[in-house]
């Protein structure tokens, strides 16, 4: 397997691309993970803020562990993490239900606009009038 050079996505350092982050960051990440997992074992009722304060692991990093499935938020009653878009605390997925709704609405609107283009906008008006009568 040919190794390639790349920039670490965490620290930006040039490194031999064996994983998506450099060795130094990988070591640090594994330490952070062990610290977080240890703390949660002792204090399963802690919030992400308490966990971050106690371990000095950043909330963003803990969130990554949760999203990667390494820390299961469902196992800890108070462990929630910020939505990707608006920062609302959530317990599953990357976005809160509100942001997901907004996304779905947008997707639907785009779909409708595209359909209108296909069928011509007059037909929709006809249907509307018929129903009204
Ligand atoms: Zn790095
Ligand atoms: Zn949100």
pLDDT digits (tens, 9 = 90+) for 66-90: 999 999 999 999 999 999 999 999 9
The domain in which residue 84 lies consists of 23-93
Q: How far is the CA of 52 from the centre of ligand 1 (A)?
A: 21
Are residues 67 and 121 located together in one domain of the fold?
no
Are residues 74 and 132 located together in one domain of the fold?
no
Global model pTM greater than 0.85:
no
Are residues 89 and 101 located together in one domain of the fold?
no
Q: Is the pLDDT of residue 60 over 60?
A: yes
Q: How far is the CA of 127 from the centre of ligand 1 (A)?
A: 60
Q: Among all ligands shown, which has an atom nearest to the Cα of 16?
A: 1
Are residues 72 and 120 located together in one domain of the fold?
no
Domain count, the chain: 2
Are residues 53 and 84 located together in one domain of the fold?
yes
Domain contains 8? no
pLDDT category of residue 119 using cuts at 50, 70 and 90: low
Measuring CA to CA, how many Å separate 17 from each of 24, 27, 30, 50, 66?
A: 12, 15, 18, 34, 24
Are residues 35 and 49 located together in one domain of the fold?
yes
Q: How far is the CA of 126 from the centre of ligand 1 (A)?
A: 61
């Amino acid at each position: 397997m040919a190794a390639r050079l790349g920039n670490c996505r965490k620290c930006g350092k040039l490194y031999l691309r064996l994983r998506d982050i450099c060795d130094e960051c990988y070591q640090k990440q594994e330490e952070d993970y062990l610290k977080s997992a240890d703390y949660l074992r002792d204090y399963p009722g802690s919030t992400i803020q308490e966990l971050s304060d106690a371990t000095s692991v950043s909330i963003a990093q803990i969130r990554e562990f949760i999203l990667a499935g390494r820390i299961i938020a469902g196992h800890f009653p108070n462990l929630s993490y910020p939505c990707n878009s608006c920062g609302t605390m959530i317990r599953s997925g990357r976005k809160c239900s509100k942001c997901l709704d907004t996304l779905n609405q947008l997707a639907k609107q785009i779909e409708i606009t595209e359909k209108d283009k296909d069928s011509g906008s007059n037909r929709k008006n006809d249907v509307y009038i018929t129903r009204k009568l």
